[in-house]
Amino acid sequence: MGPPTPRSRVPRFVETASRGTFWNIQRKHYFNWTLFGGALVLSVLEHLPVQIHKAILIASFGRILRIDKGTPQPILQPEYDWEKIKSNVRDLIYIHSGNDPWTIDEEEGLYMWRKTGGTLIVRSDEGHMGSDSFNQPYKTFPLLEKLLELDYSQEAVRG
């Protein structure tokens, strides 16, 4: 028998962390992650014992990707408690591109946004936003930097 797959480790990690003294998270903490890390952050957000200030998920997904043709990624949970995720983060931001080569595009962002609300940002022609495989390395990400500077993205949008 080989080593455990990420699918078997993630739920145990989140379950253990949510029961123990692992969390030292304050209201001003935030998460920002991309791709597979985003699926993990959804799991973590679902089990937080406090509401955090901000989570920014970049090119992330919460369901089986179209490119995977029905086979889930190992990191993906079968289901997420979207209401719990929504209640555990004050400012939830999704950033996606309209032409992501792995189908983690605006459809994926819209799917999660419909479940939780928050802010959905769709960039045109950004690909996977930092993919070395598609020769799109990001040395800087000014949009992310600005979003991290904001206290609350909804207030900034309202003016």
Chain-centroid distance of CA 132 in Å reads 20
Within a domain: 112 = yes
Q: Enter the pTM of the model.
A: 0.74
Give how many domains the chain has, as a whole number.
1
The answer to whether 93 touches 56, Cβ cutoff 8 Å, is yes
pLDDT in tens, the chain (159 residues): 333 334 444 444 444 444 433 344 445 555 544 556 788 889 989 988 888 888 888 888 888 777 777 787 777 888 999 999 999 999 999 988 888 877 788 999 999 999 999 999 998 877 777 667 667 666 777 888 888 888 776 666 665
Is residue 123 classed as helix, strand or coil in its secondary structure?
strand
pLDDT at 141: 78
SS3 of 1-44: the string is CCCCCHHHHHHHHHHHHHHCCCCCCCCCCEEEEEEHHHHHHHHH
pLDDT at 89: 92
Domain range holding 41? 6-11+25-158
Within a domain: 18 = no
Within a domain: 19 = no
What CATH number does residue 37 fall under?
3.40.50.1820
Within a domain: 1 = no
Within a domain: 150 = yes
Within a domain: 90 = yes
Within a domain: 20 = no
